[in-house]
Amino acid sequence: MSRLIIVSNRVAPISEGGPAAGGLAVGVYDALKETGGMWFGWSGDVLASGQPQIALEERGPVTFATIGLLRRDYDQYYRGFSNATLWPAFHYRADLVQYDRHEYEGYSRVNAWLAQQLVPLLREDDVIWVHDYHLIPFAQALRAAGVKNRIGFFLHIPFPASQVLLAVPPHRELVQALCAFDLLGFQTRPDLRAFCDYIVNEAGGTTALQPDGLTRIEAFGQTLCAGDYPIGVYPDEIAELARAGERGKPVRTLKSTLHGRKVIMSVDRLDYSKGLVERFRAFERLLDHTPAQRNKVSFVQIAPPTRADLHAYQDIRLRLEAESGRINGRYAELDWTPIWYIHRQYERAVLAALFRASNVGYVTPLRDGMNLVAKEYVSAQDPEDPGVLVLSRFAGAAQELSGALIVNPLDIDGMADALGTALSMPLAERLARYQDMMAQLRENNVSVWRDRFMRDLGRVSVRQASLPPLERAQG
Ligand code: ADQ
């Protein structure tokens, strides 16, 4: 069996029992253990000077290969082009895109440098699977170094409509770089369609749906395949964690503080793409329009800050603090706090238990590739007495979870109505919606996601074997 080589910006921290994080890390680590292989990426260290060296750590059949970044590389590749240019553009926030040509050069340079670090560790029949927007030029860099292995790419975030992508000055180079992969995976059909639209209308290429369901793409002198692979979770494992935590301290504390009030729960990284301001306002609107809900429900928002060294993230943090303070000031009573806004990280088991203890999962991003929290919330519910998911139509998860109350996060009244409906939904309807969504989550769990991608990557023809890579890339 070929070894699997995973390349991602960060390598998930792995403890004895497996990854501490959920979703992707668990699914990918499982595959690595089965086939043997390597996980390569940034260690998370930022070095002031010197020459970063790869650290190799063996854990059974899996090798973790990590490397630090120099401060300038971190600033240009990670903080700059990845998170201040690509992230907002791919989340349809052209207004927040900051572009600096030097940062883009840094992004390309770091991709090439990382690829050069990986090359000596590769074997001829390794299959390489690259993850996410930080590493779009990675295959092109490997090909330039003469690597002929199969290389797949999965984009965890949305792929934007062409008119939005055009806001990123080197859009053409980026799409050309994507065409150096053998297989491209997107979270949803709309993302795949947006990519195909760019190929046809901006790049002058062609796309064709094949009988095997993959889309064959010809552009920039390259031939490759693309498909949609919605990422999943392990719903039964989350259900078990949630059940086990039902009597644990966090849930007991929550319940004793609430005194029988209902709870609406949200968990996100603190990011402007997650629609937190609109969400807070819709909760306020619910209290405004439905006095009977006052003092009867609390909204718990767990949102640990991320990327705190970027202005846009400092801004959203300040806005949320202002909003939660304003709304609590307006409605709180001596014995009731409407919004609990908590800036911290919780263990997976604690989150699962909190999801199960809440009546509504409130997941309303303005844009999201998938949103695993929506899937985790449903998975964690009590099968006899499940809560209701209120879900943004702009989360990839909305393509699958039709049992949720689907909302438009810009429609504040609509979201307030959905919260009201969720809080008063009869058991029979909650059960029907939950069962429908659980069936979907089981059918497309994270190993199905991974296996479909790996199967298709194994199937696409390895065109690079017969063609000189550099000439093709320039074609
Ligand atoms: P994210 O934008 O990080 O991921 P999401 O899919 O919701 O978004 O995944 C977050 C993960 O972190 C979940 O497993 C969640 O439980 C966990 N998490 C969030 N807040 C936490 C907290 N306070 N404490 C502990 N854990 C917390 C990107 C894309 C998504 C896509 C995923 C996977 O932006 O659209 O679904 O990758 O492909």
Confidence check: pLDDT of 326 > 70:
yes
Cα separation, 296 vs 336, whole angstroms: 9
For ligand 1, atom 8: residue with the closest CA: 371
Nearest atom (ligand 1) to Cα of 233: 14
Q: How far apart are CA 83 and CA 313, in angstroms?
A: 10
CA-angle at 426, arms to 421 and 429, nearest 5° = 90
Residue 269, CA distances (Å) to 64, 251, 445 in order: 26, 21, 22
> ∠ CA(276), CA(282), CA(286), 5° rounding?
145
Q: Determine the distance separating the centroid of ligand 1 and the alpha carbon of 190, expressed in angstroms.
A: 21
Residue 170 DSSP SS3: coil
Residue 245: the pLDDT is 94
| Shortest-distance Cα residue to atom 15 of ligand 1 | 373
Within 6 A (CB) of ligand 1 lie 22-24, 156-157, 231, 267-269, 302, 304, 345-346, 351, 368-373, 376
Q: What is the pLDDT of residues 274-306, one digit of tens each?
A: 999 999 999 999 999 999 999 999 999 999 888
pTM above 0.85, yes or no: yes
Strands 215-219 and 206-209: antiparallel
Residues classed as catalytic: 156, 368
How far apart, in whole angstroms, are the C-alpha atoms of residue 141 and residue 98? 25
What's the mean per-residue pLDDT of the chain?
Answer: 93
What is the CA(213)–ligand 1 centre distance, in A? 28
Residue 145: other Cβ atoms inside 10 A: 15
pLDDT for 19 equals 62
Question: pLDDT tens, 337-386?
Answer: 999 999 988 999 999 999 999 999 999 999 999 999 999 999 999 999 99
Cα separation, 406 vs 397, in Å, equals: 10
The CATH 3.40.50.2000 domain(s) of the chain lie at 4-232+447-462, 235-443
Q: What is the best residue among 370, 394, 453 to mutate for testing ligand 1's pocket, by most ligand atoms within 8 Å of CB? A: 370
Q: Which of 28-37, 51-60, 259-268, 392-401 has the lowest mean pLDDT?
A: 28-37
Top-level class of domain 4-232+447-462: alpha beta
Q: Which residue has the higher pLDDT, 474 or 310?
A: 310
Find, among 411, 267, 423, 408, the residue nearest to 350 by Cα: 267
Give the pLDDT score at 240: 97
Measured in degrees and rounded to the nearest 5, phi and psi for residue 383 equal -60, -20
Q: How far is the CA of 208 from the centre of ligand 1 (A)?
A: 33
CATH class given for the domain over 235-443:
alpha beta
User: Which residue, by CA, sits nearest to atom 28 of ligand 1?
Assistant: 156
Task: State residue 459 phi and psi, 5-degree precision.
Answer: -90, -30
Answer for the pair 46, 13: CB distance below 8 angstroms, yes or no: no
DSSP state of 305: B
